[in-house]
Structure 1
Amino acid sequence: MAINPLPLIRRVVTTHDDSGAAKVWIDEEVENKAPPGFSDGVSFGLAWTTNTSPADCQTPVDGKDLPIGELANTEGSVVRYVDMPPGHVSPMHRTLTLDYGFVLFGSVELSLPDGSRTPVKPGDLVVQRGTDHAWVNASETEWARMVYVLLPSKPIVVDGNELPPKSIHT
């Protein structure tokens, strides 16, 4: 397994003190972990999640400690970093979410079931609207990092049929 050369992820979370003044509550590095079943070096860093929408900005609970589903939260938001080693190809999957995916380092390709691949580079944004997709790091040498913001969506219905989610573990 290749060693990830990308910089550690830092999250800074603010809150209010007892008088209502803004202050930094959390300032720490985000733990990066391999998702179950993956051994090629890909890692996920969960930075924050909410379990309601609109969010409760007064909860004393650290958002990274809230339970979520496999990738998303059906009631709130998820912010996750994904580091992909050279040659990584994710399984084709679908979440029932609206995803904002930003490329921070390297470049990746958005792969769709029709075989199309759309290259995205640092600064690019992919708005993923509940469709089947996979991510490919086609580089032979360069790691890639994306950050995703996932928000719950209404079910996707095509021709009267509701499309189910597809796990990254199948």
Structure 2
Amino acid sequence: MNQNQKPFRRIVTGHDENGNAVIVSDAPPVHTQLVGGPGGPTFFEIWHTIETPAPIHHQPDLPDESNLVLPPPKNGTRIRIIEFPPEGEEIRKLTGADAAAKFKSMGDEKASTNTGEAPHPLMHRTETVDYGIVLEGEITLVLDRGETIIYPGDVVIQSGTNHAWANRSNKICRMAFVLINGEYTN
């Protein structure tokens, strides 16, 4: 977590042996990963489910992934926080191969759609429905045709579309994402 950003906790609830609601865990996220080295985004993996409907256990099992995986599991969900630093020249100059390598480090090389003519080098597409909520800062959502600035409290519903995130401000943008496994109909 960037030293200027307010830390956050992951609080997991469950049930005790008598069926009463209790706090199972209250700590920072256990899996954090800087992607692409200095100047890249930091991913805070919060939780994922492996099926829908999600089984509800008295004591929830902590997710067991040791590496960053961009999409949720098949038929599952994923929640993460991402801190996007201000975008520098190193991002704007990425080639298609560079972009594919960055997505490979996130466990989904095929998500990259940078063909050299994309409106942003980190354009990508996943077979998911994503809810993105800006918590702090601002960020630009870049699509094939058009873009818009997203501010704190704004929510983006990303329906498997080709997109990129560009932080053109001078401070970090923190976003929460809920990813739901999807399936293209055409």
TM-score tier (shorter): 0.7 to 0.9
Give the aligned partner of residue 181 of structure 2.
152
Are the equivalent residues in 2 in contact too, given 1:4–1:143 (CA < 8 A)?
A: no
Give the aligned partner of residue 81 of structure 1.
81
Cα distance change of structure 1 residues 69 and 85 upon mapping to structure 2, 3 Å threshold: closer
Are the equivalent residues in 2 in contact too, given 1:50–1:66 (CA < 8 A)?
A: no
Q: 3-state DSSP class of the match of 2:79?
A: strand
| 1:16-165 aligned within 5 A | 16-30=15-29, 31-35=31-35, 37-58=36-57, 60-63=60-63, 65-66=64-65, 69-87=69-87, 91-114=122-145, 116-139=146-169, 141-157=170-186
Give the Cα–Cα distance (whole angstroms) in 2 for the partners of residues 125 and 48 of structure 1.
Answer: 20
Are the equivalent residues in 2 in contact too, given 1:46–1:79 (CA < 8 A)?
A: yes
What is the TM-score of this pair, normalised by structure 1? 0.81
C-alpha displacement of 1:39: 3.4
Unaligned runs of 5+ in 1: 158-170
C-alpha displacement of 1:55: 0.7
What is the TM-score of this pair, normalised by structure 2? 0.74
Report 1 or 2 for greater relative contact order, CA contacts < 8 Å, sequence distance ≥ 6: 1
Cα distance change of structure 1 residues 38 and 95 upon mapping to structure 2, 3 Å threshold: farther
My pick for the range that moved more, 75-84 or 50-59, is 50-59
The amino acid across from 2:136 in the alignment is F
Give the Cα–Cα distance (whole angstroms) in 2 for the partners of residues 131 and 38 of structure 1.
Answer: 26
Are the equivalent residues in 2 in contact too, given 1:51–1:66 (CA < 8 A)?
A: no
The amino acid across from 2:172 in the alignment is W
C-alpha displacement of 1:57: 1.5
Are the equivalent residues in 1 in contact too, given 2:75–2:182 (CA < 8 A)?
A: no
The amino acid across from 1:100 in the alignment is Y
The amino acid across from 2:74 in the alignment is T
RMSD: 2.0
Are the equivalent residues in 1 in contact too, given 2:71–2:128 (CA < 8 A)?
A: no
Equivalent pairs counted in the alignment come to 151
C-alpha displacement of 1:38: 4.3
Q: 3-state DSSP class of the match of 2:148?
A: strand
C-alpha displacement of 1:109: 0.7
Q: Does 1:14 align with 2:13?
A: yes
Q: Quote the sequence identity (%).
A: 34
